[in-house]
Every structure is written in structure tokens, then in C-alpha cells.
Amino acid sequence: MNIRVRIAPSPTGYMHIGTLHTVLFNYFFARQQGGAFIIRIEDTDQKRFVDGALESLLKTLTTLGLEHDEGPVLNADGTLSEKGSFGPYIQSKRLDIYKPYVEQLLEKGEAYVCFCTAERLEEMRAAQTAAKQTPKYDRHCLALSKDEVEARKKTEPFVIRMKVPEGSTTFDDAVRGPITIKHSEVDDQVLLKSDGFPTYHLAVVVDDHLMEITHVLRGEEWLPSTPKQVILCQMFGWESPVFAHIPLLLNADKKKLSKRQGDVAAEDFLSKGYLVDTLINFVGTLGFNPKSDEEIYSKAQLIELFDLSKVNRSGAVMNIEKLDWMNHQYIAKLDEQKLYEAVKPFAPEIDFTNPIALRALQIEKSRANRLTDFAASLAPYLGIPAYVPTILVWKKADAEDAKKNLENIRAILSGAGEEAFADITLIEGLIKEYISTNALQNGNVLWPLRVALSGAEKSASPFELLWVLGRGESLKRIENALNLLA
Ligand code: GLU
């Protein structure tokens, strides 16, 4: 079988992290199976349409390196086109496609015209709710005669509803197993709205069929829609795709992710300083853990290991501490060039033509959780912050001791060549030799030296600082400390 999957987002202007979750599972599955990953835009609900939203979605997918095989394409000059032979892939360009299918159902008596006004439906729902019934269309218009329907159609707005038959439907969800729904619980869903636009349910079934979609991997919130869609497929005589409803993403308090855009957009995670690889690893393993003893997976590994039968049924909690931990792992692994490229946009005030800045990156990467951390962590290397001389004094020593040791270290470092600074073990050896020869404690020397170099009580080790700052800047900072102690 030629596996074909799709994501069918409505363009909202940003990529909800839940959409990214769905995208990743579809993408992993398609790539693993050698199938096609398709993007179809569901924009028939004109109220939800946002200008530029499609462009933004496609841009984000490109940034994330998740290429699709068919669907809308954003060209370099900003124009939109399409690729694939099942188009158009934007539902608002497919409006003529749906009507004949509805005609077909009307002819077979599997759909009917409904003239009920919004007010009547509202009253009906209120009455049903008051009687503790699940709100459902009461088939008020089903009994209308053909002539009456034809006559009223000329003057009144109307919708077309599906006539859900009696019985029950079972489908085998690839994540949740077999699910049976009694038709008595299924509403006579509107298929065609009064403006002639198809509803989501009609469009999704027709498009999935015409686009030869084999598997529908989507969020759990669509599970209640599935019976309607399976019944529609049966009415048309089509085989349903395989459904796999993937878990919802939850906040730390186990509630559904809040809708506030700032908290849920994939783009925001990138601008907060998370790497693309981190985001794919983190979101791609929410509700799916390929191996219980492992957390770090590349995109290629996730493609290889993806397994629908290992997807959890319960909601997946987004643990931001874990995301930070994971990003920390990825940042620490970046090579010099990649790290520089990743950090640069987040630290525009840092002068990377200065070799000190590039060396400082190498040291600070083992401490960073987000790319946004570097602007602050690199600053003291490029200009020592003002500090009070008392912090130069180790807690078990006094100012005299700090001064004497700094003077001696200054002499040793002045005598050492530039090459000693280029090798962290060499410079460390020189300092340690001084400590042992003079039978000192580490703190007598390393504390004042570290503070002299960093201007702070907490920092990288003195050896790392010497390596980053180099001979000239290190001596300058020691000199400055000695002046403060004088
Ligand atoms: N248009 C729906 C959405 O916004 C698609 C649901 C589906 O995959 O069927 O996610």
C-alpha cells in the first residue's frame, strides 16, 4: 500500500504546538513508510481566516526542516504555488467539488434539507439541555414533503444534513483500539451550510478520499467527529482511512494547554531560544517514547523508531524543565560554527569578531539552557563588571594574602608565552605548580584569581577564564584587581 498522510490545519497565523505534535507524528510515519506527507489547508470557515497565515505556516515548517511532498508551496519571491497531483490543496479552491456528493446523498435519501432557523435550534438545544438530554437535531425538517422543500428553497435559507441511519459503527483506532459508537448518539450533522460552503465533516471526508489518504493521524479532540466521518464514508461506499488519535498536550497542571498564543506557538519556542533539534525531539516524544531508558533522539532516529502502537492514550504533559534540560544537552553538543550561528541572532550586542567572544561561547555552552542565556553570560568576558574589592578575598584568607598571591601569579603569567594560554592544561599546570610548591590551599590562589578575571563571585573556573581571555586581557584584569586591593 502506498501510505499517504496529511495534516489539515486551519490557518490561524501561528503554529500551535499541538499542530506541530500532529505534524511530527505524520511526518515520522510518512518518512518511515516511504509514503507521502501532504498539507491540506482547511479554510472554509471564513470567520477563522487570517491574512498571511498560510505563508507563516509554510515558513515555520521550512525553519523546522519538515518538508512536505504535496500541498501549497511558498516560493522564494513570496508567491504561493502548489506541488502534487491531487490539488488544489486549499479547500476554499475546491468549493465546486463538494456539491455533487451532497446531491448524491440527497437522491439516495441519506441527506435532507433543513430550514430550521438559528433561533429554533437554540430553543431546541435549551429544551434538550434542560431535560438532561444530549443536544442533537430533532429531525424537525425530515418530514417535509418534496414539494414543500422545493417551494421553500426558493425563498428561505437552508442547510443540508446527513441522515444518520440506525445501528452502530465500529472503527479500529490505531492508538486506542476498537471503538464502537451507537448511531443514536450521533447528530444529523450539517454537510452543506446555507452559504453553500461545505462543513468540515463533509470536506474532510471527500478530500481524504479524493487525495487517497490512507491514515489519519490527528489530535484526540477529533475523536468525537470520527463516527460521523466513518458513517459518511459508508454512505459514499468508500473505505475509511485508518484513524489514529494522538494524545492531547497538557500543561504541568494537567489542564489542556492554554490558548494564549504566547504559550502555545511553536514559533515562540524558537524565539525563546530553543533549538529546532530540541523542539523536534521534545514535541516528537510527547506521548510517545520509543525506548524507556532514553530521552535524546534525532529526527532520523524518531523516523526509524516511530511506532503507532507505542503512542500513549493519556494526555501528554509539557514539562518545561525537561525541555530546558534537553535544550541544554543539544546546546552543549553544538560545534563551534553551529553554536556561533545559533547564538548570534540572540546576542546582537556581542562583538563576535573578538576572539574572546568565540572562546567564551565554548565555555558557556556547557552552562546554557537557552540561546537567550548567552547575551548575559558572555558580557563579563568582553568587559569586566565593576565589583567591590572585598569579594577578591577568600573566606579563609585576608586581603594581604590575596594581594601576595595575585602578585606572584601575575609574575608567572607575565613570564609565560601566549602558547601557554592557548592550552588550558598548560596554564592550569602553571598555576597548580605554584600552589603545590608553596604548600598553599587552592582557595588562597584560585579564589582571588577567579574573581580578578571575572569580577564575580560565581563564574567559570580560573583556568577556563585564562584560556578565554588570553594573556593580555588576563594580565590587565589581575592588574586591575591589585590596584583595587592596594
Ligand atoms: N481542520 C482540522 C484542524 O484544524 C483538521 C482535523 C483533521 O485532521 O481531520 O485541525
How would residue 11 be classed by pLDDT, with cut points 50, 70 and 90? Answer: confident
**pLDDT value of position 14:** 86
Point out the least confidently predicted range of 113-117, 288-292, 423-427: 288-292
How confident is the model over 165-210, as pLDDT tens digits?
999 999 999 999 999 999 999 999 999 999 989 999 999 999 999 9
**pLDDT value of position 280:** 98
Q: Under a CB-based contact definition with an 8 Å cutoff, are residues 369 and 429 in contact?
A: no
Measured in angstroms, how far is the CA atom of residue 7 from the centroid of ligand 1? 7
For residue 204, the ligand 1 atom closest to its alpha carbon is 9
pLDDT at 351 over 70: yes
Using a 6 Å cutoff on CB, does residue 42 contact ligand 1? yes
**What residue type is 306 in one-letter code?**
F
Preceding peptide of 88 cis, ω within 30°: yes
How confident is the model over 373-400, as pLDDT tens digits?
999 999 999 999 999 999 999 999 999 9
How would residue 71 be classed by pLDDT, with cut points 50, 70 and 90? Answer: very high
Using a 6 Å cutoff on CB, does residue 222 contact ligand 1? yes
Residue to probe by mutation, ligand 1, list 12, 42, 90, most atoms within 8 Å of CB: 42
Measured in angstroms, how far is the CA atom of residue 9 from the centroid of ligand 1? 5
Q: Give the whole-angstrom CA distance, residue 85 versus residue 26.
A: 20
Tell me what the mean pLDDT of segment 313-318 comes to.
93
Point out the least confidently predicted range of 1-10, 121-130, 260-269, 423-432: 260-269
Q: How many CA atoms lie within 13 A of 206 on its CB side?
A: 23
- CA dist 149 to 102, 112, 145, 162, Å? 16, 9, 6, 16
Report the percentage of the chain scoring pLDDT > 90.
91
**Predicted TM-score (pTM) of this structure:** 0.92
Question: What is the dihedral sign for C-alpha 377, 378, 379, 380?
Answer: positive
Tell me what the mean pLDDT of segment 44-66 comes to.
86
Told to judge if 404 belongs to the known catalytic residues of this protein, a careful annotator would answer no
Tell me what the mean pLDDT of segment 258-263 comes to.
59
Q: What average pLDDT does the structure give for the chain?
A: 95
42 or 259, higher pLDDT: 42
**pLDDT value of position 262:** 53
